[in-house]
Amino acid sequence: MLTGRGLSKLARQRIRLCPRSARAASTVAPTRPPSRDDEGLVDFFDRPRASASTWFRSSTTSTGLFLQPALTQPSGFTQVAEDAVQKARRLVDRILRAPADATELRKVVKNLDRLSNVLCCVVDLAELVRHSHPDSRWVDAANDAYGMLYEYMNVLNTDVGLYDVLKKVLHNPDLASNLSPEERETALIFWRDFEKSGIDLPPQLRTRFVQLSSEIITLGRDFVNNSNAARPPVYLPASQISGLLRQSRMRLPIGTRNTIAVYPGTSEARMLMASVPDDATRRALYLASNSSSPEEIEVLQALLKTRAQLASLLGKESYAHVALDDKMTKSPDNVMTFLQAQLHQSRPRALVDVRGIAEQKRISRGDNQLPPVEAWDREYYMPRIPSAAATAMPDLTPGTVFYGLSRLFTHLFGVSLRPAALESGEVWHQDVRKLEVIDEDEGLVGWIYADLFGRPGKASGAAHYTVRCSRRVDDDDVEGDFPDRIPIAEEDRGLRIPGYTVRGRPGKYQLPVVVLLCDFPSPTLSGAAHLDWNDVMTTVHEMGHAVHSMIGRTDYQNVAGTRCATDFVELPSLLMEHFFLSSPDVLSLFRQPGEPQLADLDTITATQASPGAALDAHTQLIFATLDQLYHSPLASADTFDSTAVFAKLQDEWGVLPHVPGTSWQTRFSHLYGYAATYYSYIFDKALARAVWERVFARAPLEREAGERFRQGVLRYGGGKDPWAMLASVLDMPELERGDVAAMKQVGQWRAEGDGLRHGTHSH
């Protein structure tokens, strides 16, 4: 999944760094044609510790995180945050002076984009560091910088002066008609975000808006921390599980009275849920994994109620009405119409899965009739993949997956991946690896840092962070930031990003940098980590986001790469994960030269429709519907009870009843980052299926199809209306208006098939 949703209004989604100034060093990007050296990717990832000396340059001097001299130590975050505020204030002053100068008015959109970039370069870098750095001092420093700048951005979001200047630009026919399509889309993003921030409210209510926004940030951080926190252990009878633990070679502490402590959410707990015959033991584990403390429920409900108050302040019926106004779906009614259509399609298939579980339970117990299925029966009684099919699954490692992805991207887009050396202090852990992204026409177009292996203190799950977006920098006109037109000396306290010359494009650009965080099992000195199929799907999903970031290189960072509508951004990643990865032609690319052919690719792809896939898909629809209900007018009621709302939804639309005493919703961390937009995964999977069937299914490795998708979708980032992009790539002009008729048409497209998967936390 993606991260950084809702970081600010001026600073749109994702994490991005900015150039220090137009005077930053210029570098010519390499333009050597890509050779067929993808094989080096295998050892690069599969033996990270053994090959560390090959890929780390030896030096006694640290270059700083991401080659930033200001970030050689944690205190540097304070320095770069203060520098960002100083630069931002100069830009704000310049924008406010613009109405007095016609030339300056033409630069307003550019300077608003620069302002966003200056602030988010620190905020979003801090977001990455606080989820990945093993040193608590760095995490604390990143949190402080994040909080400082977020507060400042909340104030800017309600700056009437900035809004009035932008209004002059958009309402001036001469200026507005000369905006490029990208520039106009960037201007509209700022316009909508100002209006979402209550810019038309009286001063005292704007102050209240800032207060509520700050409360949401604080509550959201507490909620996410709670959702990711370890649950208290449950003490299970040693007689029921000790034998299984010995077989699996797991060691768990012995508690009092011959019990064993098991922590919910751990691999041990998951193994036991799938392996312990005793119903009572599994029930105890289920209850422990799906229950919450009163304090955790209180934090979630306070978050939802505060959002409802903010919506009311803006004159909106609910927070969903605020969040969806600029999305493809446009309104909560459209979203609920889509979800209900999908629920009607998916529920019968999910019930077939439940019947399969009941049949396995009947056979196991020797019953004559089908017994009822309880929530804690699912993993234990779920029909297993046949052993013949299981043995046909490919034995894939991180290296072979990246090798295959490089070959796939070369076929489709002419883009390949290459190992890159690291400088001392450039990364936050020795297992992090750096890739150059090479376009066969343009040369170097960006970098990917891959932090793939789990470790204590690192965020769980998988996510794609954009640490820097594309942006044209040679026309920044930094000298104009100063009233007297005489630049003053700047201290070396901020972030410095060079401008690159890219073949085939005028000017100079900051190139995109993305980070992939995963928690795969670590390799050893003697052997590579072996990925299960879910891990492979996760990697391919996140790399779908990464290739979007690399190809969507725009002049304005607010519309670069994955910075598009929340309910459009998952299209490339779901297309890669669920459809390209189901193709035998694509899977054949993961085999290195000289290796035997992967066993029976048809069997491999058949196993992806694994037992329980329909149940998983239906569960995701329930979660998406819950997200809508939590951000509907229900949240405004004094009697609002998040557990009761969830229980009613499960009992009405679920295929397994709600279990009294449980309150899983406090683990639903996406309620913060994807507020009222969690449906995006299901919506975009329906879009992805349509793109696959109409563009790629016949010949998934054809460059012509890849170019159609690249030129119709990826290259625009968020610089074009998503409905127009969809209509173009599908050759369905009737979709371009994105009206009710278009929504109804998409609502009839099938999204579910195999279960939806995506990274945890934000994206």
Supply the DSSP symbol for 515. E
pLDDT above 90 (res 334): yes
pLDDT tens digits, residue range 430-486? 889 999 999 999 999 999 999 999 888 787 778 899 999 999 999 998 888 887 765
Instruction: Give the sheet arrangement for strand 26-28, strand by strand.
Output: 26-28, 499-501, 509-510, 471-472
Q: How confident is the model at residue 240 (pLDDT cuts 50, 70, 90)?
A: low
pLDDT above 90 (res 413): yes
**Rounded mean pLDDT, 664-671:** 93
Are the C-beta atoms of residues 480 and 104 closer than 8 Å to each other?
Answer: yes
pLDDT tens digits, residue range 688-714? 999 999 999 999 999 999 999 999 999
Q: In DSSP terms, which residues pair with 510 in a beta bridge?
A: 471
Q: Shortest CA distance to 675 belongs to which of 300, 398, 128? A: 300
Element (H, E) at 629: helix 613-630
pLDDT above 60 (res 524): yes
pLDDT above 50 (res 300): yes
Tell me, what's the pLDDT at 528?
A: 80
Q: In DSSP terms, which residues pair with 657 in a beta bridge?
A: none
Tell me, what's the pLDDT at 603?
A: 53
pLDDT above 60 (res 175): yes
pLDDT above 60 (res 11): no
User: Model-level pTM?
Assistant: 0.85
Tell me, what's the pLDDT at 760?
A: 34
Start-to-end Cα distance in the chain: 5
Element (H, E) at 729: helix 722-730
Tell me, what's the pLDDT at 488?
A: 54
Q: Shortest CA distance to 18 belongs to which of 433, 451, 478? A: 478
> What's the CA gap between 475 and 729, in Å, rounded?
32
Tell me, what's the pLDDT at 750?
A: 79
Catalytic residues: 542
Q: How confident is the model at residue 560 (pLDDT cuts 50, 70, 90)?
A: very high
- Per residue, the 3-state secondary structure of 270-330, as one string, reads HHHHHHCCCHHHHHHHHHHHCCCCHHHHHHHHHHHHHHHHHHHHCCCCCHHHHHHCCCCCC
Locus of tokens 């422990």: 288
Q: How confident is the model at residue 266 (pLDDT cuts 50, 70, 90)?
A: confident
Q: How confident is the model at residue 351 (pLDDT cuts 50, 70, 90)?
A: very high
Listed range (28-37, 372-381, 418-427) with the worst mean pLDDT: 28-37
Tell me, what's the pLDDT at 485?
A: 62
> What proportion of the chain, given as a percentage, has pLDDT over 90?
61
Supply the DSSP symbol for 101. -
pLDDT tens digits, residue range 88-138? 999 999 999 999 999 999 999 999 999 999 998 899 899 999 889 999 999
> What's the CA gap between 749 and 356, in Å, rounded?
26
**Rounded mean pLDDT, 423-434:** 92
Tell me, what's the pLDDT at 759?
A: 39
> What's the CA gap between 219 and 301, in Å, rounded?
10
CB neighbours of residue 741 within 10 Å = 11
**Rounded mean pLDDT, 660-677:** 93
CB neighbours of residue 489 within 10 Å = 4
